[in-house]
Structure 1
Amino acid sequence: MSEANKTPNADKPKRRWPLFLALAVALAGAGGGGAWWWFGRAQAEAPKRAAPKPAIYHALEPTFVVNLADPDAPRYLQVEVQLMTRDPEVQPVIDLHTPRIRNRLLLLFSQQYSTNLRTRADKERLQREALAEVQAILKAETGKPGVEALYFTSFVTQ
């Protein structure tokens, strides 16, 4: 080819970067839109968790007062206990089996040593054990634990 036939811009490479930039923006937008649609659909299909029913508290009256198992000196534990359930049908079952529940808790409390009831962790351990006792009774009677939590509303050792 002769020098006269060449165009003045023939030596410069063609600038295609605006085309590549537009293509990259379009792909990023399509990917973002697809992700937004996919995750939005997955959230819509996720089952909604129902709000828990309100708590129902049942006080075990009268207050528990037991001799602790300490061999060196007489020690006492005085504790008030409340049971928490969310099922209104459990309340009459608790009322019916209160003597049995109180008996199991009295036996559990009287096996404790004062040295094992000093820290928060010790009290929480006893709380878990007491809850397990109550749930075992209710499960034997109804087939379900019935009680969700057990709370100490007063706790005195002497």
Structure 2
Amino acid sequence: MASTTAAQETIAIPDRKGKWKRIALIVLIALVAAGAAAGGMYFFLSKNPGKVTVHPPAPPVFVPLEPMTVNLLSDDSDHYLRVGLTLKLADDKMQAHLSDHMPEIRSRILLALSNKHPEDLETLDGKRALAKELIGLIEQPTDAGAPAIHVEDVLFTDFVVQ
């Protein structure tokens, strides 16, 4: 019987050296992982933030046109339209090109306006349609090979139908 109790005693005593080795290995792995994480953060966050610059969009350029007065098409009596326009452009280059060709652009606008009926311009939808039509007329090329003028919007500053 003595031999069976001795065998039970050797099984019941745990190995303390192996337990400390496992704990030391886990702590070492955790320290290496924390060091790698800290090094990665330092590497990615220490890059020069000046390389990525975000430029705010350039403010639009507004070009007011002289007010125009035209006779409208009418069957019963004389009607006229007095309109003031301001063009919203993307940049100064468009403004320079526009001012170089202003007589031709004003002529296009006057011809388009004089071809309208008073009833077409009474409603809000009629005015919006006119603005879109004027954008198309202004954006047509003025010279062969010349850059096209890009108009973002046509704004009415004065609009009188009588």
Q: TM-score, normalised by structure 2?
A: 0.62
Give aligned pairs, total: 110
Runs of 4+ off more than 6 Å? none
With 77-86 and 137-146 compared, the bigger mean Cα shift is at: 137-146
Aligned-partner Cα distance in 2 for 1:144–1:105: 17
The answer as to whether partners of 1:139 and 1:146 remain within 8 angstroms in 2 is no
Q: Which residue is 2:103 aligned to?
A: 99
The correspondence for 2:71, drawn from 59, 62, 67, is: 67
Q: CA deviation at 1:157?
A: 0.2
The 1:120/1:67 distance shift into structure 2, 3 A limit, reads same
Percent identity of paired positions between Structure 1 and Structure 2:
32
Larger radius of gyration: 2
SS in 2 for 1:142: coil
Q: Which residue is 1:54 aligned to?
A: 59
Structure 1 spans left out of the alignment, 5+ residues: 1-47
Kindly indicate whether residue 159 of structure 2 is the aligned counterpart of residue 155 of structure 1: yes
Higher relative helix content: 2
Mapping of residues 34-53 of structure 1, within 5 Å: 51-53=56-58
Whichever residue aligns with residue 79 of structure 2, its letter is: R
Q: CA deviation at 1:60?
A: 1.2
Q: CA deviation at 1:150?
A: 1.2
The root-mean-square deviation of aligned C-alpha atoms, in Å, is 2.1
Aligned-partner Cα distance in 2 for 1:70–1:141: 39
Whichever residue aligns with residue 116 of structure 2, its letter is: Q
Kindly indicate whether residue 122 of structure 2 is the aligned counterpart of residue 118 of structure 1: yes
Aligned-partner Cα distance in 1 for 2:143–2:88: 15
Aligned-partner Cα distance in 2 for 1:110–1:49: 46
The correspondence for 2:113, drawn from 109, 112, 117, is: 109
Aligned-partner Cα distance in 2 for 1:141–1:156: 37
The answer as to whether partners of 2:71 and 2:114 remain within 8 angstroms in 1 is yes
The answer as to whether partners of 1:87 and 1:146 remain within 8 angstroms in 2 is no
Kindly indicate whether residue 86 of structure 2 is the aligned counterpart of residue 88 of structure 1: no
Q: TM-score, normalised by structure 1?
A: 0.63
Q: CA deviation at 1:79?
A: 0.2
Aligned-partner Cα distance in 2 for 1:59–1:141: 26
The 1:138/1:153 distance shift into structure 2, 3 A limit, reads farther
- Deviation per CA, 1:74-114: give whole Å up to 9, x if none: 00000001111121111111111110000000000000000
